[in-house]
Amino acid sequence: MKRMRLGFLLLVVLAMVAAACSSTSSTTTAAGGGGGEPSVTIKFWSTETQPARLAKTQEIIDRFTEKTGINVQLTATDEDALPQLMLTNAASGTLPDVVFHPLDFTIGWANAGLLDIDAANEVVEKLGRDTFSQGALDLASVDGKPAAVPSDGWGQLLIYRKDLFDAKGLDRPDTFDKIEAAAKALNDPGNNFYGITAANDPGAVFTQQTFEHFALANGCQLVDDAGNVTLDTPNCVGAIDFFTRLLENYSPGGLQDVVSTRATYFAGQAAMIVWSPFILDEMAGLRDAALPTCPECADDPAFLAKNSAFVPSFAGPDGAPAQYGQVSYMGIGKTDKTDAAKQFVEFWLSDGYIDWLSVAPEGKFPMRQGDGSDATKYINEWRSLETGVDRKAPLSDFYSEDVINELIQGSNNFDRWGFKQGQGELVAQVYSTLIVPQTLDQVFQGTLTPAEAATSMQQQVEQEKKLLEEEG
């Protein structure tokens, strides 16, 4: 049996069961609906399965129903099961009217006719195209139209010790040259201090995400606009060379992953780190399971938050400023309830928006930044939301207005391999096979040169693409 088809019959059965069951549902009848006649009911699927987020989602739904008389049936589904669920329900004519989902699926669903692109574009136009992150719109556009409406997201960050940079007179590390210069100037392995810490674990997707940020910054793309694999280009060779050389010379030895890199930076043993914004509340000392342990942190748990600065987008010598981004979207399904679905998405991105962002402000940056009356309305409200686990506080208690604005503005430079070119399925396969981190490891081990690694990645991804085309 071909790959990706294993367990297909079981998945279909599970999909049918899951589609028939909803975690919660709104059964409110329409206000003033003529003798108690029930209003239209739309189906909303969400990949947010945590109880607190489901509860917040239901609160937003209840307010929407009270305002519009439109009922919403909420179904929570695991992200990994979502692609097969969509295909199964498309075949049976039971697609959701609205689906909250990650970027990974948007273009593929749109190309397969599962999403109503025109409806999504109408919502964006009604709410104001210029109120959304341009990067989030571009990532999910088909023929110039957004295939789904951007909701929230996060972008990979280069975080650096501004106090140490200032003491040495170092420039903000927003180019490859400046990153390397700073890493070299601050690297002091004899005293257990390193210029940078970043993931190199060949068995971790986090390494793929980290490297992809550097690759995008140097103009290295997975494919071109025609869908041809482009990993053996000079841009990619340059990105591989810079990334591996940077970590070989200026980072801790051994395997580094999501946990160890954070621990190194939190211990005050690195000048720079590449991580997601989910580190923001932890840097502020708001989570006991990940407390900063630097010498200064004993007296001030938020020391690192106060003395760190951020570079959302940086550039290589052969590229332009770019940032690895992950965005979640509200997709409108191809159903007969388009008008009601559009109303719900509009409500989600306006009246219900801040309530939604409040469930995890450090990782849910508003992809809609304001409205027609106030261009920064949602940014300003998001800034005041409380974050944290064991303690709660607004991000603005620890990070300046300039820092927070910079994080938000970085979303305009969000980029990812393959999605703009409609190759989401190939991207998923590249991630699942760990082609990139495993090949990078061969460079770290000295068995491949950067040029040989680029050729190897090219050949492996071309093979994956060929298999997908044969299975399609």
What pLDDT sits at residue 39? 78
Residue partners of 375: CB distance under 8 A and separation at least 6: 130, 131, 369
130 vs 371: CA distance, rounded Å: 9
Phi first, then psi, for residue 454 (nearest 5°) are: -65, -40
Query: What's this model's pTM, rounded to 2 decimal places?
Result: 0.84
Phi first, then psi, for residue 295 (nearest 5°) are: -55, -40
Segment-wise mean pLDDT, segments of 10 residues, the chain, 472 residues: 35 35 35 48 96 95 97 94 92 97 90 95 98 91 94 96 98 98 98 98 95 98 96 98 98 96 98 96 94 97 96 96 95 97 98 96 92 92 89 90 82 88 87 95 98 98 94 73
Q: For the chain, which domains are there?
A: 8-154+325-408 (3.40.190.10), 157-323+416-471 (3.40.190.10)
What pLDDT sits at residue 463? 97
336 Cα distance to chain centroid = 31
What pLDDT sits at residue 25? 39
* 33-70 pLDDT tens trace: 333 445 799 999 999 999 989 999 999 999 999 999 99
- CB burial class (10 A; 0-12, 13-18, 19+) of residue 263? middle
322 vs 315: CA distance, rounded Å: 7
* 64-76 pLDDT tens trace: 999 999 999 999 9
How many residues are there in the chain? Answer: 472
Burial 127-152 (b: 16+ CB within 10 A, else e): beeebbbebbbbbbbbeebbbbbbbb
